[in-house]
Structure 1
Amino acid sequence: MTQTAWVLSLTQFYLGLGFMLFFLALELGLAWVLFVLRVQARRKSAALLAYRFWVRIYALALIVGFATSLPLLLQLGTLWPLLMDRMGEVVGPLVALAVLTAFVFKSCFLGAMLYGQRTLSGAAHTTVVGMVAVGASLTAWWLMVLLAWMQRPVGTLSTENHYQITDWAVLLFGGVAPEMFGLLLTGGLMLVAALMLAVTAQRTRARPSDEGDRTVFAGATWLLLLMIVLQLALATQLGRQLLPVQPARLAATLPQWQSGPPVRPALFAWLDVPAGDSRWSLKGPALPQSFLPPATESGPPATVSNQVLTGLDEMIGVRPPVWITFASSRLALMFTGVLFLLALWAFWLARRLGFEPDSLSAARRNMLRTSLWLALAVQIAGWTHLLMGSLPYAVEGAVTFRQIGAAQDTGTLWAILLVQLVVYAALALGFRQLLGHTLRYGVVPVARHRGRA
């Protein structure tokens, strides 16, 4: 596989994976928010108004998410044909469980959730909504277990270039799977909270707010704050798990150009990758010991002063894209900080206005809509650092993407990438247009055969 073909294959794969993760996170977050609203609706009519509106957004995200996941399944075979030969015993069952869970829960409960509200009792419909949320969580869990295993393989043994599962419990619940699922869930809830603020600001510009809008406005402000804090804590814990066992990611994140004692991380820097140095940098505090590799059994206890890290100069050919790995980590932190300040302001403003969105000025509405773009930027930067920082490995430290790829025609790859960009652009535009239609017309009652709305 040539360098150009390798880059094009990775671009296709990560583009599809990124779209799937976005809509999976949005679907997961909305599923649990809808469950909470449905529980509250049994005693508050305002929550039922909010549920009836946002369940339509969930159905839209579900359809678009399903469409974005299909190309990714095809790419596992077309772009990486040797993947199943090397790790089929791990990848096959997890992908099958994700597909099976999605179809079972959606076929059994989704229809009742979307169309059975008027025919089921309140308790039965609440149970159905809860089962849909559980199904979305299980689907996401299997996929996160697979991505976590590729980042830090546990519960398996490689013999004769083939992975075999030795401990299902360690594979499913060990390694970094809990942290990665937590990041996906909190990221989805963060996106949902920001989307709710943006949608409420837009809806109440043209029409008076109802009780459902006020309920959403109140809940989304504190939910956004809580999810930012939780996601930052989970990202820190994931860094403690991955950086000590991924020296290339650690070196690119600092950046550590030459082998030696750990350098102080650069808060901001301009990297000269060909020269193997930084043109200028603003240094931050020293990295805590918990983020550094552990001591060897024969050596003295590891400390920051006596630790020796392998530099990027010794990792040519097995190091990730330095600029992307370095910049994405800083952008994720920067966007998170700005979003946190904006969430604090939104919470203070909402309390001051008595959680009444009609009182928002045009400038304040624009600020609330900005929170959605910031939440999206946080997710893009964070997942970019996580996925790109593990390159060139498909399974960290063991199997590279080149080893599971095959010779591809560059022209064909360019053509497929162009088609993929057009399709995903059409899906994103369609999602935005249908979201705008829902914002404009809201929930339109449908007459029943008995003559009641």
Structure 2
Amino acid sequence: MELDPVLLSRIQFAFVVSFHIIFPSFTIGLAAWLATIEGMSMATGNPVYRRVFDFWLKVFALSFAMGVVSGIVMAFQFGTNWSALSERTGSIQGPLLGYEAFTAFLLEASFFGIMLLGRDRIPPWFYFFSCCMVALGTMLSSYWILCNNSWMQVPLGHTIVDGKLIPDDWKTILLGPVQRIRWPHMLFGAFLTTSMCVAATGAWHRLRGTAWEESRVMLDWGLGLAAVLIPAQILFGHLAGDIVHKYQPAKFAAIEARWHDEQPAAEVLVGWPDETAGRNLYAISIPRLGSFIATGTWDSKEVGVDSFPAQDRPPVLIPFWTFRIMVGMALVMLAISWGGVILRALGRLEDERWFLWLTFLSFPTGFVAVLAGWFTAEVGRQPWVVYGLLRTKDAVTPSLSTPMVLASLAGYILVYSLIYAFGVVYFYRLMRDGLTRKTPPAAGYGLDTEPVQ
């Protein structure tokens, strides 16, 4: 494999985005969770909700800060590594990224200070309003970013003038059929990520015998929200697949590891795509199921990878497996959340330590699903950076050299390793020491029991 500037720039961008996307996928849901808990605290006067809010506010502050740092670094690369992309598409991508900064990030930053420092300085209603504004800002931020990415995935609403992509229909760019599916899919992914982290934290404290009342709130809300959201996420995931099937048939064929046209098409559940030989090794497949998943019929003709010119074919191995990892995480979240709801209805949730361990160990499922989904979308889009219009190799900065990108990539890896190592340690300490109250198992729900020393 030749380490040319294009490949190294792709690796660098993937490295930075992989770290960055962890934090928005967590803070989007966490901001909404904090606003909800603050609202419940105001409505009920229950001090347990206030303690839960204060605990997660510290986690949110650290996550927000690390997300901002990694996001700024990511934006720099549009100028340093991808200036040709910026030149060709700047009239569309520039406004979208600008709107994200001015309408979303500034909204978050303005009210975030009130969340951190204004509890005792402003009326309770305005504090709650500030929490809602931060939650709205995080969701708006994801909207603009998804507008940009959705347009790159399926470019609509533009015209080409002197080789540059110029906006022609902003309504289609902002509210087109692709964005209407992909943005809710991202939002549900973020909410599920937070839900599983909240539930896992509640299970961890329950296993440790600390924060009895707070852990019950986290378990109930985390598992309950995930149980409601996961069916909706699966539905929007299927609709997103329909978008890929319609607009990106080569990506769809790669995800399915379908090498040749098939009618009816089988569904490969697992296997090892051999891209050199153009076949799947050790494949387990179900006849006709591929046609049903793609079109809802049992006999449709589905296109294979070899139907596309060699230079237009995406990699197969990575999107094939990342898609299945994403689906696998969704099934795990479905099983854990619905299992927790059933155990809660039976009054056995806190007593089943095996289930508490499963819930605790499921905390990374949302992060893994988001990362796997991003890799599926981005690697499956290759060799295009703007699908069908601009190839990745033509989007890099012309003056880049291999030593330049190697040096910057090494620098990113070193700095990120140090920063995120300290961040992980601090996250652990927050989780461990943020809720230290110990209450006897017989304590009732929502009672402000004094800690047992």
Could you tell me the TM-score, scaled by structure 2's length? 0.88
Q: Deviations over 1:339-371 (max 9, x none)?
A: 322222233334444665xx563x444322211
Query: Secondary structure of 1:397's match?
Result: coil
Q: Please tell me whether the aligned partners of residues 269 and 278 of structure 1 are also in contact (alpha carbons under 8 angstroms).
A: yes
Which range is displaced more, 102-111 or 239-248?
Answer: 102-111
* Counterpart check, 1:344 vs 2:338: yes
Note if 1:41 corresponds to 2:41: yes
**Is the contact made by 2:151 and 2:173 (CA closer than 8 Å) also made in structure 1?**
yes
Residue 361 of structure 2 corresponds to residue 366 of structure 1: no
Q: For 2:101, what is the secondary structure of its paired residue?
A: helix
CA distance in 1, matches of 2:293, 2:333: 27
CA distance in 2, matches of 1:248, 1:262: 18
CA distance in 1, matches of 2:81, 2:264: 38
Report the AA paired with residue 17 of structure 2. L
| Aligned match of 1:99 | 101
The answer (yes or no) to whether the contact 1:52–1:443 under 8 Å persists in 2 is: no
State the match for 1:246 in structure 2. 248
Equivalent pair of 1:153/1:175 in contact (CA under 8 Å): no
What is the match of residue 328 of structure 1?
Answer: 322
Alignment of 1:366-445 (within 5 A): 366-405=357-396, 406-442=398-434
Aligned CA RMSD, in angstroms, stands at: 2.4
Identity of aligned residues (%): 23
Q: In 1, Cα distance between the equivalents of 2:377 and 2:165? A: 23
Q: 1:318 aligns with which of 312, 319, 327?
A: 312
**What's 1:164 paired with?**
166
Q: Contact 2:108 / 2:133 at 8 angstroms: preserved in 1? A: no
1:287 corresponds in structure 2 to: 290
Aligned to 1:197: 199
Residue in 2 that maps onto 1:134 = 136
Contiguous gaps of at least 5 residues in structure 2: 437-453
Alpha-carbon offset, residue 270 of structure 1? 2.1
Displacement of 1:231 in angstroms is: 1.5
**What code does the residue aligned with 1:101 have?**
T
CA contact (8 A) 1:221 1:350 kept: no
Partner of residue 61 from structure 2, selected from 45, 54, 59: 59
How many pairs does the alignment contain?
431
Q: 1:316 to 1:56 in 2, by over 3 A?
A: same
Change in Cα spacing, 1:161 to 1:259, as seen in structure 2 (3 Å) is: farther
| Distance in 2 between residues matched to 1:323 and 1:222, nearest whole Å | 35
Pair 205,283 (structure 1): closer, same or farther in 2 beyond 3 Å:
closer
The 5-angstrom pairing of residues 217-236 of structure 1 reads 217-236=219-238
Match of 2:451 in 1: none
Residues 443 and 144 of structure 1: CA distance in aligned 2, closer, same or farther (over 3 Å): same
Question: 1:375 and 1:132 mapped to 2: Cα distance?
Answer: 22
Give the structure-1-normalised TM-score.
0.88
Q: What is the Cα deviation at residue 240 of structure 1?
A: 0.6
C-alpha separation in 2, matches of 1:129 and 1:419: 36
What's the secondary structure of 2:280's corresponding residue? Answer: strand
Task: Tell me, yes or no, if the aligned pair for 2:305 and 2:313 is still in contact at 8 Å.
Answer: no
Please, which moves more after superposition, 403-412 or 68-77? 403-412
What displacement does 1:97 show?
1.0
Q: How far apart are residue 171 of structure 1 and its match?
A: 0.9
Amino acid of the structure 1 residue aligned with 2:419: L
The one-letter code matched in structure 2 to 1:25 is: S
* C-alpha separation in 2, matches of 1:219 and 1:342: 13
Check the 8 A contact 2:89/2:164 in 1, yes or no: yes
For residue 82 of structure 1, report the CA deviation from its aligned partner. Answer: 0.7
- Report the CA distance shift for 1:193/1:304 in structure 2 as closer, same or farther (over 3 A): closer
In structure 2, what is the Cα distance between the partners aligned to 1:442 and 1:309? 54
1:359-398 residue CA offsets vs partner (Å, 9 max, x unmatched)? 563x444322211122222222222111111111111111
Deviates more, 1:271-280 or 1:74-83: 271-280
Do the aligned residues in 2 keep the contact of 1:40 with 1:47 (CA within 8 Å)? yes
Contact 2:322–2:373 (CA under 8 A) maintained in structure 1: yes
SS at match of 1:372: coil
Q: Distance in 2 between the 1:199 and 1:308 partners?
A: 44
Letter in 2 for 1:15: F
Quickly say closer, same or farther: Cα 1:443–1:206, change in 2 above 3 A.
Answer: closer
Aligned-partner SS, 1:43: helix
Indicate conservation of the 8 Å contact 1:193/1:223, yes or no: yes
Distance 1:241 1:114, change over 3 A: same
Alpha carbons of 1:204 and 1:309: their partners in 2 closer, same or farther (altered >3 Å)?
closer
d(CA) in 2 for partners of 1:41 and 1:303? 50
Cα distance in 2 for partners of 1:193, 1:99 equals: 27
Query: In 2 relative to 1, CA 260–244 (structure 1 residues): closer, same or farther, beyond 3 Å?
Result: same
Higher alpha-carbon deviation: 375-384 or 122-131? 375-384
Letter in 1 for 2:376: H
Instruction: Determine if the alignment matches structure 1 residue 80 to structure 2 residue 72.
Output: no
Q: Is the 8 A contact 1:221 1:346 kept in 2?
A: yes
Q: Matches of 2:289 and 2:352 in 1, distance apart? A: 44
